[in-house]
Structure 1
Amino acid sequence: MSAVIDAQRAPNVRRTAPHSAPSAQRIASDEHALQVARELAQDFARGAAERDRERRLPFEEIERFSRTGLWAIAVPRAYGGIGASWNTVAEVFKIISAADPSIGQIPQNHFGNLNVIANAGSEEQKRFFFAQALSGARFGNAGPERNSKNVLDVRTRALLDREAGDGSYLLTGTRFYSTGALYAHWIPTRAIDDEGQPLFIYNRHDAPGLRVIDDWSSFGQRTTASGSVVFDGVHVPAGQVLHVKDFLRQANNIGPVSQLIQAAIDAGIAHAAVRDAIEFVTTRARPYADSGLERASDDPYILRDIGNLTLRLHATDALLERAAGVLDALPETISFEQMAAASAAVAEAKVLSTELSLLASEKLFELSGSASTLAVHNLDRHWRNARVHTLHDPVRWKYYAIGNYALNGTPPPRHSWS
């Protein structure tokens, strides 16, 4: 893979492709997964502010993360994994994102792709790709086109290689918002075939003609490296192509699972902002002069706002757990009614996690005072991360979907952003 790095923006970035898939440990149970996630989070939290400040991409942290086996917990039991519940998956994302939401976001597409393979892959593809994940291979993503009409407008083309005559394709296109691609061993993308039918294509990171470009310049989620991927006539063997035309017409959990992970990341950001607000108020903030108090933590207005943030945090956690429970209760073959109910439940969690991550990261400064804005603390990263990540899919449309479903019984849209 050719990873093109802007040396002026990121002079300390390692300029090598990902290691070959590491030998990953095996997670034994859902409880084990949560324990490992908590231990990793403590370590990741220590360097989060510095990584954000310097935009130091977390190559080493991602290697350690995937070696733990956490990236394989969604592999079904029938293929050697633990088939972790969606509640456990969401909790792992929340725990890691509370420590460093950029690291927390990087595997979102990995888990989304494991779910696509579980639902739409052939038996041979499931055996192959799940074995890759269990060995420690990471799946990234080549995201939506930057200049297309909208995220559902796919212009990347995969044309059948008729000269080869072996069912392989030649892939051409440019994608953006490619979270995880720079760290990945496999870089999946969506494409349209000769007849305009949808394909999911899985590309090796070092395939000739594939380039990952680190041109992500957002003010938040700075180290996700969610930049461009260019496919220039990339040869894709038939076994790396999922034909999903028929699958996408069926009821499935692809959208709700994708959105559950997004909500979990936002919930993690909210946890971090509330945590740091409480820590700053209790250890550094001074009481307002007119209050007559000795400690800022006794200010009744601060107490009121911390109380409000705390109850909203608990409500967010509860809605996230409820939404994951709806997904966990789905049968192997689901109906469109069940798909709609799952999408609506996840949308509720997404609304609250979005609003709280923004509210808490803003209230942090109001409650902590001017000292909290000093660059040495880098506490503004919480708001920057929340603002950028919550733009992934506009929450105003979540309100619409929830209301339309509740009032009129109209199912939410059926795609990965719903």
Structure 2
Amino acid sequence: MPAHRISSDQEALDIARELAVEFRLEASVRDSQRRLPWAEIEKFSASGLGGITVPREFGGAQVSYRTLAEVFRLLCAADPALGQIPQNHFGILGVVAHSADAAQKARIYGDVLNGLRIGNAGPERGTKNILEMKARLVETPNGYRLNGKKFYSTGALFAHWVPVKALDDQGQPVLVFVKRGTPGLTIVDDWSGFGQRTTASGTVLLENLAVAAENVLPLRKLAEQAGIQGPASQLIQAAIDAGIAAAAIEDTVHFVRTRSRPWADSGVERASDDPYVIRDIGDLKIRLHAANALLVKAAVALDQIASVAIDADASARASIAVAKAKVLTTEISLLASEKLFELAGSASTLAVHNLDRHWRNARTHTLHDPVRWKLHAIGNYLLNGIAPARHSWN
């Protein structure tokens, strides 16, 4: 299906709102049945949303970070899996902007504008930490060969291009673009997490896979130079959590209004008149408003920093701005999805309502990077002037 070309920030937001209405309709069913959202992902691609960050010089809309965050927040309030699946698509496009040469940019951006999707094969299991890699790209007399095993490969199953992080013969990090269907590439749908169930964030196997030189992007410069690739990736993560929180609060309000019974000692006729329920709904709304406000503030900071030459100080300020938002979006997504049951009552736990999906999604997605380290980064920066480490999780 050919992809629409989005030309402005407002058009991107309008299309995201339209898709969110449609994606919300069967989100609960997809989760409960673990029905992978193939049709919905195709609609996302056809809408043109996948190309909204492509630079204008290559034919894209080059929307602001503020718009990008709002697009993800809208989609994730409808179905957070449909937000997380293209999350790495945009993260990789950020890498392309900094690490690809002109020819690579033209080819990759062209594919994206035509509706092709980019997945992810970066993290591995069994390593010392998330930054360690065992996958290797080796140069042989017959060209490059790629071997490795990846996990948490969100988006790979739905992707046309699967970017793989590996180390080359010199031990330097590279990003290898592997086309779907390439011999030696196997994508396994073995994601069994209790949340974000339809993201298919499973295993990618790479077995003596032939790689063309033009599909290899060096990452050394990205690690050495100051930039905002990490904060931009984290901004999307925060927007996903903000969307989950919004959906949980919306369902809480609806259930309390239409199904919940007031507590016997309350002396009121409706659960929505219970003064303690009223108080807690007000508290949740305030916390959500604060989280969304910091999300916008962080996005605006990225827009401002991206418009000038980025040095180490600017990179650190970007990371801290997004970390502040990430703390509040993490906290409200967990609190709102837990409070839902306390305020809505026992009936809200029945499987027919599947309201536990909000907590399962929040709990699973917020494990992506621990918020305790966000608080540490903020405190260390403000107290001691120490900038956070530069990588995709900061």
TM-score bin, normalised by smaller chain: over 0.9
Report what 2:52 is aligned to. Answer: 73
Aligned pair partner of 1:97 in 69, 73, 76: 76
Report what 1:125 is aligned to. Answer: 104
Report what 1:12 is aligned to. Answer: none
TM-score (norm 1): 0.93
Report what 1:238 is aligned to. Answer: 213
Runs of 5+ unmatched residues, structure 2: none
Give 1:143 deviation, angstroms: 2.9
Q: Separation in 2 of the partners of 1:28 and 1:194? A: 42
Report what 2:229 is aligned to. Answer: 254
Aligned residues: 393
Q: Separation in 2 of the partners of 1:194 and 1:116? A: 21
**Per-residue CA distance 1:46-68 (angstroms, 9 max, x = gap):** 10000000000001110111110
Aligned pair partner of 1:177 in 139, 149, 152: 152
Q: Separation in 2 of the partners of 1:199 and 1:188? A: 10
Moved over 3 A (4+): none
Contact 2:95 2:222 in 1 (8 A): no
**Per-residue CA distance 1:110-129 (angstroms, 9 max, x = gap):** 00011110111101111110
Deviates more, 1:330-339 or 1:398-407: 330-339
Residue 377 (str. 1) matches residue 356 (str. 2): no
Residue 346 (str. 1) matches residue 322 (str. 2): yes
Mapping for residues 317-336 of structure 1, pairs under 5 Å: 317-330=292-305, 331-336=307-312
Q: Separation in 1 of the partners of 2:353 and 2:257? A: 15
Q: Separation in 2 of the partners of 1:142 and 1:190? A: 7
Residue 291 (str. 1) matches residue 266 (str. 2): yes
Q: Separation in 1 of the partners of 2:69 and 2:334? A: 19
Q: Separation in 2 of the partners of 1:200 and 1:82? A: 25
Give 1:332 deviation, angstroms: 4.9
Residue 191 (str. 1) matches residue 170 (str. 2): no
Give 1:244 deviation, angstroms: 1.9
Amino acid at match of 1:73: I
**Per-residue CA distance 1:230-266 (angstroms, 9 max, x = gap):** 0001111111111121231000111101100000000
Which SS does the other structure have where 1:329 is aligned?
A: helix
Q: Separation in 2 of the partners of 1:286 and 1:130? A: 54
Aligned pair partner of 2:66 in 78, 83, 87: 87
Amino acid at match of 1:339: S
Which SS does the other structure have where 1:151 is aligned?
A: coil
Report what 1:116 is aligned to. Answer: 95
Residue 47 (str. 1) matches residue 23 (str. 2): no
**Per-residue CA distance 1:122-153 (angstroms, 9 max, x = gap):** 01111110000000000000131111111100
Aligned pair partner of 2:337 in 344, 355, 361: 361
Report what 2:239 is aligned to. Answer: 264
Q: Separation in 1 of the partners of 2:308 and 2:113? A: 22
Give 1:26 deviation, angstroms: 1.0
Report what 1:57 is aligned to. Answer: 36
Q: Separation in 2 of the partners of 1:156 and 1:222? A: 26
* CA root-mean-square deviation: 0.8
Aligned pair partner of 1:399 in 352, 369, 375: 375
Amino acid at match of 2:171: G
Give 1:339 deviation, angstroms: 0.3
Report what 1:19 is aligned to. Answer: none
Residue 106 (str. 1) matches residue 81 (str. 2): no
Which SS does the other structure have where 2:25 is aligned?
A: helix
Work out the percentage of aligned pairs sharing the same amino acid.
59
Runs of 5+ unmatched residues, structure 1: 1-21
Residue 280 (str. 1) matches residue 261 (str. 2): no
